[in-house]
Each structure stands twice: as C-alpha cells, then as structure tokens.
Amino acid sequence: MVTSMGGGAFRDGTAVGVDIGGTGIKGAHVDLGAGRLVADRVRLRTPSPATPDATAGVVVAVLDQVGVGGPIGLTLPSVIRAGVVETAANIDPAWVGTNAAELFAHATGRAVAVVNDADAAGIAEMQFGAGRGQRGVVVVVTLGTGIGSALFSDGTLVPNSELGHLPLHHGDAEDWAAESIRERDNLSWKKYAQRLQEYLALLEKLLWPQLIIIGGGVSKKAEKFLPRIKLRTKVVPAQLQNNAGIVGAALFAPSLPTQSLAR
C-alpha cells in the first residue's frame, strides 16, 4: 500500500520514519498500527562530515526515494529537547545547539518531530517487540557505535536517559562496552559478555528494572553473549532489530499534517 502525497499519520495510520546514524540514513513508510514497514526501506550513506546542512540534504534524498508525503519522525544519536540537539557524542559537533526540528521542517517542507535514536528504538520495542505489555521499569539498551538507552515506567518513556554515559572503568560505559569497542579491539564473545555483565549489573543496581531489552545490530547475535549474562533482571534480545529506529521514528511523527511538532 502506498499513500498519496500529503497523506500521513493522521489520515491513514501510516507515517514516514527516518533513522540517522553514523554510517547510514535509513527511511521507510511505516504502518503505525502493525509496527511494520509498508515498503522496503531506503538507505543512503551519511555524509562526511555529517554537518546539519549536509545531513538534511541526504534526508531529503532519502525521502524522495521513499516517495510518500506527510509528517515524518527523525532520529539523531543525541539528547534532543524541544527539537534542539544538546549533545553530539558520536556525531559532528556542529549539531550541538542546532534546532533540528526547524532544520528538517525547513529542508523537507513537512511537519516533523525529532527524537533520540535509542528512545525511538525503545518505543518501537515496547509497542511491537520484546517489551509489549510490560509494566514496571524497563530499560532498552542499544549496542552500536555508542550505547543508547530508553527508560520506561509502566510503558511511559523518560526521554534522553543517556545511560551509555554512566561512568565505568574511569570513562563512559559506552567506551568500554559498545559493540564498536568489541569490533575495534577484536574482543572474544566471552570477554565482551564480561564487559556487558559489568555494565548491566550497574544498570540493575541503580534502576532495579523488571526487564532489560538488548537492541542494536549485535542483538542478532544475542546467543553469543546473552547466555553468559547473570543478573536477577530478565534480559532479552530486541525483536525488531534493524527497523526499530525507523518504526520508532515514525511513531513520533506529528499526527496532524499541519502541525509542526518540535519534541
């Protein structure tokens, strides 16, 4: 199914989600009721340097290829408050202080919402994946270039939790236990599982969650490390994997085509 241009979240229960990452910008038309992509996703390379203007240019190109109008939700790997980028741990420092909601609304001419990447993936996982119906405190942890987190209480998101920056081994936890560190240092799965064990034990000690969901690309290989993790908290792999960010981004798309929502 493809909606006509100018459709969007409010009219037919679909919206476009765009997930902006360090290497790729991925977008797709999303069925918001089913949490599934309506058509194959489009992926273009993130520009280098990934300045705000260059990134907006690639977002426009992704949207052209997706070919569906209406409101959009976008993710960035940053703290986002009221549409403004507050941090840039793994993206171009030029983003800090940028009103991303305004930038993308201007570049695309559409109603947009901008949200932290892990919060988007987490929302998708809570609605359609491993966190469905889960009450109490849930932490979704995304392991990638950095460590992202999405914190929920009875299904409600506490945005911008940034638990990848908890201190661990005299630095940020993400510099110790992100998937990129496993790859960079060629860590064995056993060694990587030990690092995750330490990190997740810290989360457990501080937050006492009912459930921890492990997302990010490496969650596809969860059988390599999850069986080694020993916590009181139940720890499960994410179910949506690659598309969680896109689906979550679309869920944040403003529901009224005329409304410009800067989250």
Residues that bind ligand BGC (CB under 6 A): 77-79, 87, 89-90, 116-118, 142, 144, 146, 148, 162, 164, 174
Nearer to ligand BGC, 102 or 175 (CB): 175
What distance in Å separates the CA atoms of residue 84 and residue 169, rounded to the nearest whole number?
A: 31
Tell the smallest beta-carbon distance from residue 175 to ligand BGC (Å): 9
CB 28 within 8 A of CB 246: yes
Helix/strand/coil for 136: coil
CB nearer to ligand BGC: give 61 or 96.
Answer: 96
Could you tell me the smallest distance in angstroms from the CB atom of residue 67 to ligand BGC?
A: 27
E strand or H helix at 176, and its extent? helix 174-177
Q: Which is nearer to ligand BGC, 23 or 188 (CB)?
A: 23
Strands (E), 86-136: 112-116
**In terms of residues, how long is the chain?**
263
CB of 91 to ligand BGC, least distance (A): 8
- Residue 79 Cα distances to 96, 126, 158, angstroms: 9, 20, 12
Work out how close the CB of 162 gets to ligand BGC at its nearest, in angstroms, rounded to a whole number: 5
Contact in structure between 110 and 70 (CB atoms under 8 Å)? yes
Dihedral over Cα of 96, 101, 106, 107: its sign:
positive
Where is 24: in which H helix or E strand?
A: strand 24-31
- Our CB check for ligand BGC shows the closer of 29 and 152 to be 152
Residue 44 CB, nearest approach to ligand BGC (Å)? 18
- Beta carbon nearer to ligand BGC, 30 or 76: 76
